[in-house]
Amino acid sequence: MTHEEFRSRIRVSSETAHKELFEEYCNYVYTIVYNRLRSCMSRADIEECVCDVFADVYIYYDDSKDITGDISGFIGTIARRKAGELYKRSALRTESITIDDEEISGIGSDQNIVEEAEKNECRRMILDNIRALGEPDSTIIIQKYYYGCSAKEIADMVSLTPENVRVRSGRAVKRLREMLEKAGISL
């Protein structure tokens, strides 16, 4: 529905215009409100917010302004703002969870975060260097060493013979080793 259509209908009968607007945009408004409030509100609260959105649309719509285009932007903005306000009010009411020092001592992990981060960084650097080899060498190395594919399987992927795949693989590993040594990574 456009602004012009709504204005012309509201001049004939505001009740009919409001019903038509509600029927056309109810699902649209419900989707916006539900996506914003589903984690913190009940279905009844969400439906009440939808009703409040349409009440605001009816109250704040100024039919004396000469606005053109689709009315969905106006309705969507009111729905997002109304749902946002309700979400903020809900967030302020929720109680925060506190953890005592005794409880924290019982929450432990055997995972060494620093070591894991270093391993991930090393893996990222290795993959970056493999990609730097270019095609088809990077595909050959990844398929052979990461996925365990045979030379014949890789040959089908990169349109080479299995013998060429083996030769290129050997050369690519040698180049990769040199690149990694320059980067300070030893295999």
Condensed to tens digits (0 to 9), the pLDDT of residues 117-128 reads 888 888 888 888
Residue 100, classed as helix, strand or coil, is coil
Which residues have a Cβ under 8 Å from the Cβ of 66 and sit 6 or more positions away?
A: none
CATH of range 3-93; options 1.10.1740.10, 3.40.50.300, 1.25.40.10, 3.50.50.60 = 1.10.1740.10
Burial of 139 (0-12, 13-18, 19+ CB in 10 A): buried
* Residue range(s) occupied by CATH 1.10.10.10 in the chain: 114-182
User: Is 108's pLDDT higher than 80?
Assistant: no
End-to-end CA gap in the chain: 65
For CATH 1.10.1740.10, list the domain ranges present in the chain.
Answer: 3-93
Q: Stretch 14-20: mean pLDDT, rounded?
A: 89
Q: pTM, whole model, 2 decimals?
A: 0.48
Confidence class of residue 67 from pLDDT cuts 50, 70 and 90? confident
Check residue 106 and give its pLDDT: 59
Compute CA distances 98 → 58, 102, 103, 109, 147, whole Å.
44, 12, 10, 20, 46
| DSSP three-state, residue 65 | coil
Domain at 114-182, CATH class: mainly alpha
Q: Report the pLDDT averaged over residues 71-96.
A: 84
| Average per-residue pLDDT for the chain | 84
